[in-house]
Amino acid sequence: MSRSAHPAGPRHADVLPEGHYSAPPADLNALDPKVWARTVGRDEHGVLTVGGIDVKQLAEEFGTPAYILDEADFRARARAWRTAFGSDADVFYAGKAFLSRAVVRWLHEEGLNLDVCSGGELATALSAGMPADRIAFHGNNKSPAEIERAVRAGVGRIVLDSFQEIVRVAHIAQSLGKRQRVQIRITVGVEAHTHEFIATAHEDQKFGIPLAGGQAAEAVRRALQLDGLEVIGIHSHIGSQIFDMSGFEVAAHRVVGLLREIRDEHGIELPEIDLGGGLGIAYTSDDDPREPHEIAKALTEIVTRECEAARLSTPRISVEPGRAIVGPTAFTLYEVGTVKPLEGLRTYVSVDGGMSDNIRTALYDAEYSVALASRSSDAEPMLCRVVGKHCESGDIVVRDAFLPGDLAPGDLIAVPATGAYCRSMASNYNHVLRPPVVAVDGGGARVIVRRETEEDLLRLDVG
């Protein structure tokens, strides 16, 4: 590997430009366990390893860029959620964060349920053997064909998202001679402290039925009258990448308030409430996520307290974590291409992927961290921006980070916490091929989603 000399980028705090960073970390080779998958470390040569395999070997065998997923970590996190909520609650993994057949099998084995929100996710879940009664079907605009497929398959619940959908699902279920278990998704009017595009409980957005103005109560009233539906509960999802539990507290308070109204009006106690997903993870060392057992304790206490106050028996709780399970379990491995120092600004480090494998930085201004992976280095920290190979200046993977000043073309770098919403939101922009997902476990590595090929691209191009 040649290390071409290049003028180093700016290094001293007093000359650093504006950005989202603090001072360079004391040791650039250190790996903060908050942001890295559990089995990640460095070997005696300083090479990053995961599940006992070094990344140079992974790059050689599977190429770059690649998402490298720590299977043991995924299973441990899934189990931690399952155990934390115990047998009186259900954990539905949100497949939108990342779904593949291997993931479905792991979830099945670890005793979790699955939330899907499209025909494609449903097909993946069913084809990998997830029992239909452990699947929840979500979405604000499920097509009649998708609804029919879900009802026929016997999904455990469909989460109804609008007045029209209440009628649509009831009609389809009835015409198939079935009674579909449903929850009604409401918006509780909470402003979750997260990026605007991923907040979902305020009223001015497309999801759910507003609690305000008695609309949610009216939705329940209508659903209860329809033979095709069995109303099992109320659903609320307030947003994503949330650290502050107070939004969930307000949501639980308002959902229980609706359960009380339903009891008073109809004389029934709905048996379930779902508080959605949305728990945040650490993308950088500045983030402090909560552990599943703390979250379970907090949510269970809130619901129990609210139900006692309303003199209701406590309903069965369910939650839908996606990011909190898969997010921290994977990193993206890239090869460094061009390294371009801009004097007085920063050094642009171009990698062999970009916004096609991680759109989150461009879309949400998300922050990530990065580490030199193919070796350790004692070189001075250099302020960098990790960018992709796309024809777009917003093609940024890591906006501001420090990497060693001797970084050179051919080095491997790794961006942690890319397990959620990276492969699942990947695109073919510029006809760049989507990277594989490689699962590492017990000293072995295997592809669970293969790299896209030019044949894959051309197969769709039938003109």
Task: Please report, as ranges, the residues that interact with ligand LLP according to CB under 6 A.
Answer: 94, 96-97, 115, 138, 198, 237, 240-241, 276-279, 320-324, 360, 364, 420-421
Longest CA–CA separation in the chain, Å: 77
Separation between Cα atoms, residue 274 and residue 280, nearest integer Å:
18
Of the pair 320, 335, the CB lying nearest ligand LLP is at 320
Judged by DSSP in three states, 141 sits in coil
Cβ 277 to ligand LLP shortest distance, Å: 3
Cβ 425 to ligand LLP shortest distance, Å: 6
Look up residue 345 and give its two tokens: 């600004």
* CB-facing half-sphere around the CA of 290: CA atoms within 13 A: 18
Cβ 160 to ligand LLP shortest distance, Å: 12
Query: Could you tell me the end-to-end alpha-carbon distance of the chain, in angstroms, rounded to an integer?
Result: 42
> Given 117, 307, 391, 422, which residue is catalytic?
391
Buried b (16+ CB within 10 A) or exposed e, 229-239: bebbbbbbbbb
Judged by DSSP in three states, 336 sits in strand
Look up residue 295 and give its two tokens: 């979250």
Look up residue 244 and give its two tokens: 């502050």
Q: Is 274:235 a contact under the CB 8 Å cutoff?
A: yes
Separation between Cα atoms, residue 315 and residue 318, nearest integer Å:
9
Of the pair 58, 330, the CB lying nearest ligand LLP is at 330
Cβ 114 to ligand LLP shortest distance, Å: 11
Q: Is 226:166 a contact under the CB 8 Å cutoff?
A: yes
Cβ 241 to ligand LLP shortest distance, Å: 5
Of the pair 201, 258, the CB lying nearest ligand LLP is at 201
Buried b (16+ CB within 10 A) or exposed e, 89-111: bbbbbbbbbbbbebbbebbbebe
Of the pair 71, 121, the CB lying nearest ligand LLP is at 121
Separation between Cα atoms, residue 163 and residue 151, nearest integer Å:
18
Cβ 415 to ligand LLP shortest distance, Å: 14
Of the pair 201, 382, the CB lying nearest ligand LLP is at 201
Separation between Cα atoms, residue 327 and residue 390, nearest integer Å:
24
Look up residue 43 and give its two tokens: 């070997």
Q: Is 334:351 a contact under the CB 8 Å cutoff?
A: yes
Q: Is 451:435 a contact under the CB 8 Å cutoff?
A: yes
Q: How are beta strands 157-160 and 180-187 bridged, if at all?
A: parallel
Of the pair 58, 91, the CB lying nearest ligand LLP is at 91
Residue 391 a catalytic site member: yes
Of the pair 276, 405, the CB lying nearest ligand LLP is at 276
Cβ 170 to ligand LLP shortest distance, Å: 21
Radius of gyration of the chain (CA): 24
CA proximity to 278, closest of 251, 258, 315, 305: 251
Separation between Cα atoms, residue 169 and residue 143, nearest integer Å:
10
Cβ 204 to ligand LLP shortest distance, Å: 17
Separation between Cα atoms, residue 199 and residue 190, nearest integer Å:
9
Of the pair 79, 237, the CB lying nearest ligand LLP is at 237
Q: Which residues are catalytic?
A: 391
